[in-house]
Structure 1
Amino acid sequence: MDGITTIGLDIAKSVFQVHGIDISGKVLTQKRLSRSRLLPFFAKLPPCLVGIEACSTSHHWARELIALGHDVRLMPAQYVKPYVKRSKNDAADAEAICEAVTRPTMRYVPVKTAEQQSVMMLHRVRLMLSRQRTQLSNSMRSHLAEFGIVAPIGRKGVEQLLAVIANEDDARVPPDARLCLEMLVAQLVVVKSQILENDRRVMESARKTELGQRLMEVPGVGPLLASAIVATVADPKAFKSGRSLAAWIGLVPKQNSSGGKERLGSITKAGNRNLRSMLVVGSMAVIRYAQRNGTKRPWLVQLMARRSVKVAAVALANKTARMVWALMTSGERYREPAVVTA
């Protein structure tokens, strides 16, 4: 195994498949390792190129192997799939990974630090708690509607329902139903407090970094979005341009071109769904403000004049993503564009 230069590693929860080749491409090892034997196996090897699919636990194993001196490359699973010959299994997947990692045009996923993954966990848990809050509110609405009690949509409507549940003298709600509704209210209170604590941690993570402070100066980028960008985009220089970052997020038109004819459709919706939605929401806030108070940016004025609000929001989100990439790579601060006078 001294001649191994490249390894394809197919990871799982407890079983790991290794496919190692030398500099000429000759297969030197194909073996299955248990979780306890993985790191000792790589500790005995000289530094080599290790390819891993970017999936669950991949960043953890990448950090562990980098600490042992290996050059670890993470690749999107959809870029590795074309190299699987046939009969998908662990051995075939490891061979495909080993083949894909040697391609000069392969695109790699930067390895995230434990701190970056912690911030990303804050955003994922916040999204899950927000869904649970909506689920609990909708559940109370539907149950009370069975007794003829309805309320307007929004926060005020939920507060009216909470007042009905808390009023034990209200005969419209039977005792057993009130008991169940009080359980939902207790869960709703806990979820709301957890969301507030989560938001506090997210805002703290955005404000404590110099990059996060610079990103929050961009119109439409708040603490939540700035924190998510810093944690998600580990290395902005991995993207060749701002358009590459916007394409990775999924804010560019989908192409179906052939024979020299370009056919562009709606946005691809690739990449991080949460990051894309926050960019669009931030752009909607900028457009709403411009509609009420006006704006000095001629590009946005012309866009709003010829496109619908939602189309303009997506276009502005694309532009915001490009500005974010420029700020991250150049280290400069955001400057409001100067108005060109006739």
Structure 2
Amino acid sequence: MRFVTMKTEEQLDMQTLHRVRDRLVGERTALINQLRAILLERGVTAPQGRSKLEQLLAAMFADDENRELGMLTGRIRSLVVDMRAEWADIDRRIAAFETEFVARAREDEAARRLLTIPGIGVMNATALIAAIGNGETFRRGRDLAAWLGLVPRQVTTGGRPRLVGISKRGNKYLRKLLIHGARAALPSLLTRATPLGGWLRTLTAKVHKNAAIVALANKLARIAWAVLRHGTTFEANAAIAMA
């Protein structure tokens, strides 16, 4: 029988902070999408990217003679102004959470050790510690990767097993953070003369880039487990052995 380790109050607090921040990010995305739709209905096409949309709105409202601003009625102009203010408030709240995560990561010795791993930032480190503590619930790194849904799913037909996409089971939030971290770290890791870099170069030569990113996320989860469980820091030359 497997038992789940009880979380400390600090872990529960951190997990709650991450959940609230994730909700705010979702609300901001929904607000931006609605803002784009409102502009598009009036013939104003906004470029992709949050910062580019911000620049477009700033340019529109900086000049009363702006052609695109003239395509909006007075009521819609005031509505867009209100939505921009709401967007700025959500940004401020999200930034406050991120500042708190940075401060807590600096104070936590385990988080500082996780930050030595490429692709593991403050968000990943604090979320991992909040979810698994020192990793003693899992016997090995692969168990953590399986819990995160980062391992291949097996389909058997006619007595012949076949590996397909990842299972996507378990903690969706942590899986998302690790995949984002792997995507950000992949370009720099490919250029490094380390076992992890060599493994990635071999892998990317055989599979699609997205598959390599998920495989790297799996590897990062295993390395994170080893770092937490054994109280060590990341060693680039021992990365494959640790995982």
TM-score where L is the length of structure 2: 0.88
| 2: CA distance, partners of 1:267 / 1:320 | 15
Structure 2 runs not aligned, ≥5 long: none
Q: Which residue, out of 93, 105, 109, partners 1:194?
A: 93
The answer to whether the 8 A contact 1:327-1:334 is kept is: yes
Counterpart of 2:231? 331
Partner of 1:265, secondary structure, is: strand
Aligned residues: 232
Worse overlay, 218-227 or 260-269: 260-269
Alignment of 1:204-223 (within 5 A): 204-223=103-122
- Letter of the structure 1 residue corresponding to residue 8 of structure 2: T
- Letter of the structure 1 residue corresponding to residue 45 of structure 2: V
Percent of residue pairs bearing the same amino acid type: 36
The answer to whether the 8 A contact 1:162-1:185 is kept is: no
| 1: CA distance, partners of 2:16 / 2:238 | 39
Note the aligned Cα RMSD (angstroms). Answer: 2.0
Alignment of 1:174-323 (within 5 A): 174-257=73-156, 261-290=160-189, 294-296=191-193, 297-323=197-223
Deviation at 1:259, TM superposition (A): 7.5
- Letter of the structure 2 residue corresponding to residue 239 of structure 1: F
Counterpart of 1:84? none
Deviation at 1:330, TM superposition (A): 0.8
Kindly name which structure, 1 or 2, has the bigger radius of gyration based on alpha carbons.
1
Query: Is 1:164 matched up with 2:70?
Result: no
Counterpart of 2:17? 122
Deviation at 1:172, TM superposition (A): 2.5
Structure 1 runs not aligned, ≥5 long: 1-104
Partner of 1:256, secondary structure, is: strand
Partner of 2:160, secondary structure, is: coil
- Letter of the structure 2 residue corresponding to residue 336 of structure 1: A
RCO (CA 8 Å, sep 6+): is it higher in 1 or 2? Answer: 2
More helix by share: 2
| 1: CA distance, partners of 2:32 / 2:198 | 42
Alignment of 1:129-144 (within 5 A): 129-144=24-39
More strand by share: 1
- Structure 1's consecutive aligned runs of 4 or more residues displaced over 6 angstroms after TM superposition are none
The answer to whether the 8 A contact 2:150-2:217 is kept is: yes
- Letter of the structure 1 residue corresponding to residue 192 of structure 2: T
